Structure 1
Amino acid sequence: MSAPDAAFMIPSLPFEARCHPLWELAEDRVRTWLAKIYPHGTAADAERFEEGRAARVAGYFFPDADLEDLVTLTAMIEAIFMYDDRIAYDRSSSPEDAHALAYRLQLVLQTGQVEPSDDPDLIALGEILQRIYPRQSEDWRSRFRRHIWNFLFANAAELENRLEGHTPGLREYMAIRRETIGVLPALDLAEFAGHYELPDILYDDPDLHELRQCYLDIVAWMNDIYSYQREDAAGEVNLVHVLRAENKTSLAATFDDICEMIEARISHFIESERRFRDSDTHRRITETERAAVDASVAAMKYAMAGSRRWQAEVKRYTTAQR
């Protein structure tokens, strides 16, 4: 069984997939912006942009965003894609290169400003954050920085495993994968798009934490099915490799196992949401806080359903990385 065949076995998600009607306009504007930031971009860079369709992701993840915000969100997702591809698929990349990238971006992530520079990565991130940070609290900015930072270093850890020929156990893999999938920063960005913020005391609520863990696993494990052939060809290790190594199962049986795992996490997500809504915490919070929780849960549902739809539409995970 091939990965594309297995993708049809992924359980149906009981969540609505909606895409922003202006996503193509956002894509055109980000394409023009990227050409100015990276004037020496190659044909392969342009093809990678078309295959990834970052604006389509943004459209699914943030279907009600203002157009100007959608452009900003598309640019940020494209930046995350670029960091991911550079670390994971650039044959000359090393863990040291990945760490160097993180440290180069550190000051811009901290301040949202960039000193005069000829480094297009810094210029691009600075311009994006100058549109985001002024609207957000320091608590939000700190959380977002932490999530981007963890994403970069987790990708470096994955690269180190690949170069050393190490296949991690399931527990180790899941901890890293929840960071490398890159959708924790996307959930932060949903707060920017929706003009709300979850206070830390709610963000850290055990039931909401469990909701996020389910969300991360569902998106990551669907991605591991869709991207298996590409990652296998690149020498990457994903959940398919981890489970086959642990369980000594066939490829077809492993795809079955992952689909069952996804189905279990969907059920657990629904139960965790019900448990939170029945909790004392939910009864005690203000209307504003309740609206923020509702928006955050809706954002996870849009992202899960939209991620599945987007991955079935694009060539990013069916085309070998050049």
Structure 2
Amino acid sequence: MNVAVNFPLPFVSLCSPDRDAARQRNFDWARGFGLVANEVDERRYRSWDIADLAARWLPQASGAELDLAVDAIVVGTLIDEQFDGARDLLPAQVRADCETLLAILQVEGRPPPPVGVLAAALADVWTRTCRGASLEWRRRAARHWRWFLEAFPEEARWRQGSVKLTRDSFLALRRKSGLVYMMMDLTEKANGFETTERARQVPGVQRLLDLTADLIDTMNDVCSVEKERARGDVHNLVLVLHAEQGGSREGALVEAHDSMRRWCEEFIQIAAGLPEACARQQLSRAETDNLLRLVQGLEENIGGHPDWYRTTRRYEGVIPRGEPSYSSNLMRPVVRPSAMSS
């Protein structure tokens, strides 16, 4: 068992009862879009069990709301696989591919026709994400997807450069590349509420969002460190701490866990004072209630996360450096299969 999942989080772990049905619905959706095109892809895809991750992230969600979350996280995961750092892709190539995906994220206008199955899947997820949402919320959601996509060319440049990543510079980039902000948007979408920009300006709120991202991303980095080290990828907090501080990798793991402990304590302290902070900022009752619902959602997001690591096989085994993590190139046009042989 990976040491990350043994971290004693102070938040309860819950799971949506619709998880198993959502898992099958998602696989059917993915196969229909051509995201799973062969048996190798299917084994890899099923081993991740993103439905379990989403069901623990959103334990109150079910049906279409949970389906959207699973599909969105799957799309983000597959994008990450396409730009896997171990493949040494040129920044210009990564940028060009990301531009085709960025074009999908239109807030008010009509996007161009998607090119490739991954772009088509993102377009479907984005359409469903925007449905019924306010313009303010759609703009925020688009910004967070853009953060994620724009981080890939930046990571590619850092891999080719001689500048060493520091803890602070890495965390700043990781908050964008980790997909967590998009997933926090899904917390609102799946539970049927929105927070306003005014509410998010309440002192402490932005720090709560950053703490959530840092906790989730660091758990991921601890669980994936051996896989990424073998692949030659440097974008991992444990590896960054090891290079920055020297010493052993075990010492860097201890520092990562100590950081998560401090972040949890800080989160609890800020959250406890949030109702009073909302009153000082003269938020309306609805704004305050929705903001507190978001904080409750963040606690559920964090609390359920380690249980996914106990069962997922996403970080098992080592894929040789230079080989793609996912066999299919989803950035190129692919004919959608009507059925896949078993």
Q: Give the structure-1-normalised TM-score.
A: 0.91
Cα contact 1:221–1:258 (8 A) shared by 2: yes
Query: Partner of 1:58 in structure 2?
Result: 54
Pairing partner for 1:320 from 288, 294, 318: 318
Alignment of 1:104-119 (within 5 A): 104-111=100-107, 115-116=112-113, 119=116
> Can you list the C-alpha shifts for 1:275-316, whole angstroms capped at 9, x where unaligned?
222325467322322221122111111111222211222111
Query: Partner of 2:24 in structure 1?
Result: 28
Cα contact 1:88–1:159 (8 A) shared by 2: no
Cα contact 1:105–1:122 (8 A) shared by 2: yes
Alignment of 1:1-322 (within 5 A): 4=1, 6-7=3-4, 10=7, 12-38=8-34, 41-89=37-85, 91=87, 93-111=89-107, 115-116=112-113, 119-164=116-161, 166-237=163-234, 238-279=236-277, 281=279, 284-321=282-319, 322=325
Distance (whole Å) between structure 2 residues aligned to residue 273 and residue 265 of structure 1: 12
Cα contact 2:114–2:120 (8 A) shared by 1: yes
Q: Give the structure-2-normalised TM-score.
A: 0.86
> Can you list the C-alpha shifts for 1:172-214, whole angstroms capped at 9, x where unaligned?
1110111111110011111111111100011232311111111
Q: Which runs of 5+ in 2 are unaligned?
A: 320-324, 326-342
Query: Partner of 2:340 in structure 1?
Result: none
- Length, aligned pairs only: 318
SS of 1:110's equivalent in the other structure is: coil
Q: CA deviation at 1:259?
A: 0.8
Distance (whole Å) between structure 2 residues aligned to residue 265 and residue 39 of structure 1: 36
SS of 1:135's equivalent in the other structure is: coil
Cα contact 2:57–2:304 (8 A) shared by 1: yes
The one-letter amino acid paired with 1:186 is: M
Distance (whole Å) between structure 1 residues aligned to residue 197 and residue 22 of structure 2: 31
Task: Name the CA shift for 1:306/1:285 in 2 (closer, same or farther; >3 Å).
Answer: same
Q: Percent identity?
A: 24
Task: Name the CA shift for 1:253/1:199 in 2 (closer, same or farther; >3 Å).
Answer: same
Bigger RCO of structures 1 and 2 (CA < 8 A, at least 6 apart): 2
From the two aligned structures, give the one with the greater helix fraction: 1
Task: Name the CA shift for 1:200/1:194 in 2 (closer, same or farther; >3 Å).
Answer: same
Cα contact 2:85–2:156 (8 A) shared by 1: no
Cα contact 2:211–2:267 (8 A) shared by 1: yes
Distance (whole Å) between structure 2 residues aligned to residue 174 and residue 39 of structure 1: 30
Q: CA deviation at 1:116?
A: 4.7
Distance (whole Å) between structure 2 residues aligned to residue 136 and residue 114 of structure 1: 17
Q: CA deviation at 1:89?
A: 4.6
Cα contact 2:222–2:253 (8 A) shared by 1: yes
Q: Which runs of 5+ in 1 are unaligned?
A: none
